[in-house]
Amino acid sequence: MKKKMEIFKKKYIPGILCIAVSIIAFVSAGLNLFAANSDRGIYYRNDLPGTYISAEEAYSYYEEQYGSGEAEENRLQYEMLFWNDHGEGQMESAELGRLSTGDIVYTCGRTDLLIPDALRLDYDDFGLCILGKQIAWELFGTVQAEGLKVICEGREYTVAGVSNQIDRIFVAPSRRNGEVGYNRINVIPKDPKQRILIRQEMENRFETGVYQENEFVCWILKLLFLASPALLGCIGIHFFIPSKWVKKWYVKLGVIVVILVVIGVFAGYPADMIPGAWSDFSFWPDRMGEKMESIHAFLKGSKIEVEMNCFYQIVRCLIWCSLSIFVTIIMGLGMKNYVRNCPEKGKRGGEL
């Protein structure tokens, strides 16, 4: 009995562990990819202070698009938010005198595009603010802080909501005649097919800065996510289809086509990576250069907690996808060695 258990552990336990790790890694990668992919807006960041969008310019545009009283379906086909990463600052409880620190963000537009789990503030909700849960706790001893007063940079605000997802942040609409310039823009299209047209509209109207390549990054993550099932499919075909069929060129071509179709259906292709003319051979090098510059600007620039949370989702997805691919390769090599040592070697794809 003891000998049988040792044989079982030697033969099957490593394979079972690999399968378990592969499933856990694949599911975890999928959850993080879903979270990152659900944030499909258009984002710009401008790290040159002299070119920030002025409060007057932002408010004029926002009132022009959303303050006309027109029916919702006739308005511009996206929701937007101008905001400013004002840096870290200090907040004080007006009632208790307690102090706390966190990221200060001034906005013009819909704050739910930045903090979706708190009460939405609009561009004209002056004197109201949203706090992160840790700041609310340090100032008031509770996260149920709605209606309480907080002082930030010499001005008093009434707490309208508390975010349970962000620890340290203070968000408040800035006034039209204020000195705040906006260095971030969030735009959420109502129709994803209009992304390119909306980008052109924004870039023609404002000094937007660098476009953040969240769509391109999510596409790369989708390819990595699909790599593990594609490898499993190739391994299965290699080991469970007779070798005389596997060696035929049209079978290999068919497998490649099926894999590409599956990837195309599930991952798609970024619309801005399709050239206007296929004879434009400089299109892809130039476009990839722009995307690498955008990613570099995001990695190098300062980031508030909201931006860091998005970054962590991407990093976690990348790690889990890499682990899933690695374990899948290990499983393939293990199957190869098993078939090589099998007495029926060569009968079902064992001739490697």
Indicate whether 128 pLDDT > 70: yes
Strand partners, 128: 158
For 211-253, write each residue's pLDDT tens digit.
776 778 888 888 888 888 877 777 766 666 666 666 666 666 7
Pair 150, 156: CB distance under 8 Å: yes
> How far apart are alpha carbons 336 and 239 in whole angstroms?
8
For 151-205, write each residue's pLDDT tens digit.
998 899 999 999 998 999 999 998 877 777 888 888 888 777 777 788 888 888 8
For 289-319, write each residue's pLDDT tens digit.
878 877 887 777 778 888 888 888 889 989 9
Burial letters for 8-41: b for 16+ Cβ neighbours within 10 Å, e otherwise? eeeeeeeeeeeeebbeebbebbeebbebbbebeb
- Residues 261-286 have a mean pLDDT of 74
What type of residue is 127?
G
E strand segments, 31-139: 42-45, 53-54, 78-93, 99-109, 128-132
| Full-model pTM | 0.75
CA angle 197, 124, 80 (to 5 degrees): 20
CA angle 40, 287, 269 (to 5 degrees): 45
Of how many residues is the chain composed? Answer: 352
Kindly list the domain boundaries of the chain, sorted by start residue. 2-39+215-340, 48-208
> In which band, very low, low, confident or very high, does the pLDDT at 99 lie, cut at 50, 70 and 90?
very high
Mean pLDDT in the chain?
Answer: 79
Pair 123, 109: CB distance under 8 Å: yes
> How far apart are alpha carbons 55 and 326 in whole angstroms?
50
Q: What is the pLDDT of residue 72?
A: 46
Q: Which residue has the tokens 């102090």?
A: 99
